[in-house]
Each structure stands twice: as structure tokens, then as C-alpha cells.
Structure 1
Amino acid sequence: MTGGYSLLVADLIGVAVFAASGASAAVAKRLDLFGVGFVGFVAALGGGILRDLVIDAVPPLAFADWRYAVTAVCASVAVFYLHPQLNRLRRTVLLLDAAGLGLFTVLGTLKALDAGVPAVGACLIGMLTGIGGGLARDLLTGEIPVVLQRDIYAVAALGGAAVVVLLNRLELAGPAPLVLAAAAITGVRLLALYRRWSAPVAVP
């Protein structure tokens, strides 16, 4: 399997995961089929569209390659019809969101580096790619975005992006290390939820 094909497969997996996360949140809000599909689409592709606009890759890949939109819509529709079999929707949303955060952060950072963005900028773009879909999903479903609350979310993405940049500098950015980096971001996010870790907030 070539490196480009591997990245495409990983990208589409990330799209499906975030679409399922967005669709699950929309189902929990009792939106109709179109609403579920729309929220899933935006949750899956919002971060990638933002990334592509920042690195001047136009038109964004979400619009240039039909496989991205089709993957997002199919995953969303599947969640709409299969949600009775998905127990505890909130836990499902959180798990899928954490997995999507890891995948999209890694892929967004890599694409920024490939576009010639310096290390610090690549980290920020990777973080924005990871959190963009979840931010859009929360806004569309009437929730305070997770990234603006105390949860360890954007921090996990930023830390993971820094690891990807370091691996790239050390010429270790192969499939296995990058998968581990994505898994680490997902693990940190889930552990933070389980242990209820949070960033400090201002005292009123």
C-alpha cells in the first residue's frame, strides 16, 4: 500500500468517525434525517475545510474529491438508522469524537508540513483540523463547544500535533509511529474524561 493511498484511507476513516460522532449528537437532539446528515457532514469535514483554506489548498479536498462527502453522508445515514442499536449515545459520541480528534490532528499536521508550513504553524493547523469538526457539531446542536470548556480537548490535539512535528523532524513519520500518535491523542482525551481532568478556569 503506497503512502498516499494509506493517507487517503486514514483520512476517510477519520471522516467516517467524525461524521458518526456528529450524527450521533444530532440523533440525540432528535433532528430529522436531513439534519442528522448535515450535522454529520459538517462535523466530519469542517476541520479539513478550514485546514485547506489556511494552507491555500483550494478548492478544499472535501469539495474536490467526492469520496469525502459520500463517506460523511453514508456514515451519518447509517447512524440515523442504526442508532437504536447504539447503547448510551453520549458515550458513543465521546468515544467517536476522541478517535476523530486523534486522526484529524495527525493528518492535519502532516498536510501542513507537506505544504511547507513551519513547525509552530503546522501544530496550530493540526489542532484546528482536529477541533474544527467538533466545534461546528456543538454549535449546530446547541451545545457549548467542548473546546471552550474546561475539558482537555484542544490541549490534547496541540500536544499530539507537536509529537507529529517531532517525528517528522526525526524522519520517523511512518505509518506505525503516526498511528501511535493518533492513538495517544485519543487515549489522553479519553483518560481526561475518565479522570475528569480539566484546565484551570478564572475565579469569579
Structure 2
Amino acid sequence: MEHDAWPLVLDLAGVFFFAVSGSLMAAQKNFDIVGSLFLGSLTGLGGGVIRDLVLGRFPNAFAEPVYLAPPVAAAVVVFFLLPAVVKLRRTLLLFDAAGLALFCTTGTITALTLGANPISGALLGTTTAIGGGLLRDTVANVRPQLFDRHDIYAVPALLGAGLVAFLWQVGAYTPASGGAVAVVVFALRVLSLRFRWRVPFAAVVAHREGRATPPAD
């Protein structure tokens, strides 16, 4: 496969994995097939659209029709294979982790290629990785994983995007190194779910007491 084709392949794979997680949530919420396609598309394409708009360019999701294929494929796969899925919640989280891992890499590279500095590139890569999941959870009316105090949803993406930006800056980024970063992010995300890792609360008192403290009137 040509070197220039790898970013597109990884980007489309990320769209597919995130779209599957969106379609699985649609099935969990008893949406119809149209709702499944919409939620899958929103999840798979939302983060990239946000990134592209911030970068001031027409979103790839609408400029390149090929980006519409993964959400359609995801909706079809979930429609036919859902009865074989025993643990829906765990499957959704695994596909979400795979999308997160790929998008924090491809999103950062896209931003850097278009002229963003390493810090901005890493932030936009993180936005690409978490944006679709945030939109999915909001539209499906569930608490976004980003705000779950028992989750470190954004941390693996931020670490992966930062590492990709560093490799790019020192001239060491290759498709292989990008793939390795994605594998590390995926593993970190899965381990965080397995062992329920979390970051400190927003306030020391809340962390010590194990609960949030309401603001004073």
C-alpha cells in the first residue's frame, strides 16, 4: 500500500469503529435503523468535522463521499449481527476505544499537516478523538463519558495526540510509529476501563470525601 494511502485508511477505520459504537448505542436505546445511521454518522464524523471547522477548511466528511461509507457499513453490521452480541455495553466500549486510538493519531497528523503547531495539533487531535463520542452521548441523552468521574476518557487520547505531535516535531513520525501509538492508546483505554482508573476531582474536598460538593449560593 502506498505511503500516502495510510492516513486515509486509518481515518476511515476510525470512522467505522466510532460509527459502530454509535449504532450500538442506538440499538441499546431501541432506535430504528435511521436513528442508528444518524447516531453512527454523528459519532464517526463529528470529531473530524469540529477539527476541520476550527482549522478553517470544508469538512472532509462532506468533501469526500468515501467518508459516508463507514457509517452505512456500521449500521448494516449492527442491524444484522446485533443478536450475536452478548455483552452490548462491553462491545460498545471496545469499539469506542478503537476509534479513540485511531482518531487521536489521524486527527493530530491532519492538523499538523495543515500547519498547526505541535500543541494546537495535539489539542485538535484530542478533539477529533473525543468529539464524536461527546456528541453521541449528548444526543442519546446519556451522561457523556468525558464527564464520568470514574473514567479517564480524554486522558489516553491526549497522551496519544501529544506523543504523535512530538514524533512529528522531531521527524520520527511514520505510519508504523503512528500505529504503535494507536495500539498504546487502545491498551491504556481498555486497562482504564478494566481497573476503573480515574483522575482527581475538580476540588480537593470532593476528592477527599469521594463526592462532589455543591457550590455555595
- Shorter-chain TM-score bucket reads over 0.9
- CA shift, 1:78, in A, is 1.7
Aligned 1:1-204 pairs, distance under 5 A: 1-58=1-58, 60-150=59-149, 151-201=151-201, 202=203, 203=206, 204=213
- Identity score, percent: 43
Asked if structure 2 preserves the Cα contact closer than 8 Å seen for 1:36 and 1:77, the reply is no
Following TM superposition, where does structure 1 have runs of at least 4 consecutive aligned residues deviating by more than 4 angstroms? Answer: none
- CA shift, 1:12, in A, is 0.8
- CA shift, 1:56, in A, is 1.4
Asked if structure 2 preserves the Cα contact closer than 8 Å seen for 1:20 and 1:96, the reply is yes
Asked if structure 2 preserves the Cα contact closer than 8 Å seen for 1:135 and 1:145, the reply is yes
Asked if structure 2 preserves the Cα contact closer than 8 Å seen for 1:24 and 1:80, the reply is no
Q: Name the aligned partner's letter for residue 9 of structure 2.
A: V
Q: Which runs of 5+ in 2 are unaligned?
A: 207-212
Deviations 1:94-140 (A, max 9, x none): 00000100100100000111011111111110000000111011112
Deviations 1:15-46 (A, max 9, x none): 11110011011101111111111000100000
Asked if structure 2 preserves the Cα contact closer than 8 Å seen for 1:41 and 1:76, the reply is no
> Size of the alignment, in residue pairs?
203
Asked if structure 1 preserves the Cα contact closer than 8 Å seen for 2:24 and 2:78, the reply is yes
Asked if structure 2 preserves the Cα contact closer than 8 Å seen for 1:23 and 1:40, the reply is yes
- Alignment RMSD, CA only? 1.0
Distance 1:193 1:77 in 2: 27
Which has the larger Rg? 2
Secondary structure (helix, strand or coil) at the match of 2:142 reads: coil
Distance 1:159 1:5 in 2: 25
Q: Name the aligned partner's letter for residue 33 of structure 1.
A: I
- Give the structure-1-normalised TM-score: 0.96
Q: Name the aligned partner's letter for residue 6 of structure 1.
A: W
Secondary structure (helix, strand or coil) at the match of 2:171 reads: coil
Distance 1:186 1:5 in 2: 22
